Structure 1
C-alpha cells in the first residue's frame, strides 16, 4: 500500500508527463526517418538498460523481495513496454494511419472507467463519466481535423486494438498489483523485459536498418531520457498514488498537446476544427480530475 501522503513533487507530475509524452510523438517522427520501427524501439530500450544497470550497481537501491514482486514488475513491463509500444509500431508499419491509431488508443480512459470498479476497486461516478465522454469527443475532433482516419488495413487495426488493450491492462495491473520499488530497480526490470521482446521481433520482422545521423541520435537521446526514464516513472507513480480512471484521462490531452508541439517544432498547421476539440478535452479532464467537493485530485 502507498504511504498516506504522496511526495510534494507529484503536484507537477501531470503537466510534466503531458509535455514529455506528447512531445515524444514529434521526436519519434524524426527518429523513424533513420531507422526501422522495432529496431529503433529495441535500440531505445538497450540504451535505457545500459544507463540503468551501472546506476543500480553504483547506488545499490533496495531490490524487490519475493517472486511475486518480481513477477508484478515483469508483467507491467510486458504490458506497457513490450505490448503497447510493439503493437503501436507494428500497427503503423502495417498501414494504419497515425490518426486512426490515435483515435483507437484514445479510448483507453473509457475502458479504464468501465473496468476500474471490478479490477482496481474504484468507483467512477456520473460526473467523471461526463468528463470521459467530453474528453474522448474532444480528442476525436483533434484527430479527425489533423488526419484522415484510415482503418482499412485489417492487420494494422488489429495491432492498434492490441496497443489499446495493453496500455489499459498495464494501467489497471499497476493500480491493482503494483509494488513500491526504487525507480531504478523497477525501470531496469521493465525495460529489460521490453528489450527481451522487441529485439527478437526486430531481428525477425525487419532488416534492422539504422542511419547514424544527428537527427537519429538526438531523437534517441530524448526518447531514452524524457520518455523511457522520466515520463514512464511519472505515469506509474501517478497511477500508484491516484485513481486509475483519473490518471488515464490525461491521455485525452495527448493529441491536442502533440498538435501544438508539432505546430511549434515541425510547423504542422492546426485546422480550425481542432481548437474546439482541445477545449472539450480540457473540460473533460477538469471534470474527471476534480473531487466532488471541487478540489483537484
Structure 2
C-alpha cells in the first residue's frame, strides 16, 4: 500500500470510528428523529449532486424494492435504534457491540445458504466472536439498560444483513448514488417526527458540532473517502479498517467523554476481533485472495 493508500486508510478508521462518540454527545440535547434527519438530510445534500453529475441515478429505478429494503435494514431502523440506545449506554459499549457485525454476517450468510464452507478455523472464529459478545453483554444486562443493549444488537444484525441483501438483489448497482438515494429517502421519512420534536432553543455548541460532524464528516465525507480508498487499494484491503473502528470508538469515549474502561471491554474486544478475522477468512494461509466486487453496502456508522 502506498503513502496515499495509508493516509486514506487511517482517515477511514477515524471517520467511521467516531460516530458513536458524536451520537452520544448529540442525544444530550436533541431527539433521535432530529439527529437521524439532520445526518441524512445533510449527507444527501452533499452526495446527490455528485450522483447526478455521474448520471447514475436512473439505474436505481428498476431496483426500488430491494433498495427500499436495504435502506430500512441499514439506515432507517439501525440509525434510530443505535442513537436511542446511546441515550442509556456508553458510546464505548455501543461501538464494541457493533464490532460483532462480521461474526453475525457469517452466520446470516450460512443461514441463507451461503456456499462457503465453514472450516475449523472459521468455526473457531465464530466461537471466539460469540464468546466476546457474551463477555461484553452478559454482565451488563443487569447493570445497563437491557433494552438499549438489545437495540444495539438489532443494529448490528441490520448492518450484517444489508451487505447480503446487496450481494443477492443489488449486485452491480453503483454505491454512491445508492447511498445518496437511501439517505434522501430516510431524511424525508424522518421529516415529520423531526419537525414535531425540533428543539425549542438552539442546542449547545458541542451538540451542534457533533451533528455537523455526523452529517458532513461521518456521512458525506465518509463516502467520498471510502470510494477513494477502494480505487486506491482495492476493496479487500479497503474493508480491513472495519476491524479498527471499535478501538477508535472506545478510545474516543474514554479519552474525550471520560467513559469507564472496564477490563471486560478489553477482553471482549480481543475475542471479537480475533474471532472476526478467523470467521471471515476464506482461503488457507498462503493462498491468493481474489478481489471481491466493490462492497456496495458500506454505510458510515
Return the TM-score normalized by structure 1: 0.72
Among residues 200, 209, 216, which one is paired with 2:192 in the alignment? Answer: 200
Deviation at 1:64, TM superposition (A): 4.2
Aligned pairs for 1:154-165 (under 5 A) are: 159-160=151-152, 162-165=154-157
Cα displacement string for residues 96-131 of structure 1 (whole angstroms, at most 9, x for unaligned residues): 776876676555444322221325554443312322
Q: Aligned equivalents of 1:283 and 1:34: distance in 2?
A: 37
Structure of greater relative contact order (alpha carbons < 8 Å, 6+ residues apart): 2
1:263 aligns with 2:263: no
In structure 2, relative to structure 1, the CA distance for the partners of 1:104 and 1:283 (3 Å cut) is: closer
Q: Counterparts of 1:123 and 1:104 in 2: how far apart (Å)? A: 26
Match of 1:27 in 2: 22
Question: Does structure 1 residue 41 correspond to structure 2 residue 36?
Answer: yes
Q: Aligned match of 2:215 in 220, 224, 232? A: 224
* 1:115 matched residue in structure 2: 108
- Equivalent position SS for 1:22: coil
The offset of 1:36, in angstroms, is 1.5
Equivalent residue for 1:125?
Answer: 119
The worse-fitting range, judged by mean Cα deviation, of 193-202 and 160-169 is 160-169
What is the aligned residue count?
280
Give the equivalent residue in structure 1 for 2:270: 279
Give distance in 1, aligned partners of 2:118 and 2:251.
30
TM-aligned CA deviation for residue 84 of structure 1: 1.0
Worse-matched range after superposition: 101-110 or 275-284: 101-110
Q: Which runs of 5+ in 2 are unaligned?
A: 290-301
Match of 1:214 among 197, 205, 212: 205
1:61 aligns with 2:61: no
Return closer, same or farther for 1:27/1:122 CA change in 2, 3 Å cut-off: same
**CA deviation string 1:33-76 (max 9, x = no partner):** 2312221111111111222233344x243334364334433332
Give the conservation status (yes or no) of the 8 Å contact 1:63–1:185. yes
1:230 to partner: Cα distance: 4.6
Match in the other structure for 1:288 = 279
Paired with 1:120 and 1:23, the residues of 2 have a C-alpha distance of 32
TM-score, normalised relative to structure 2: 0.71
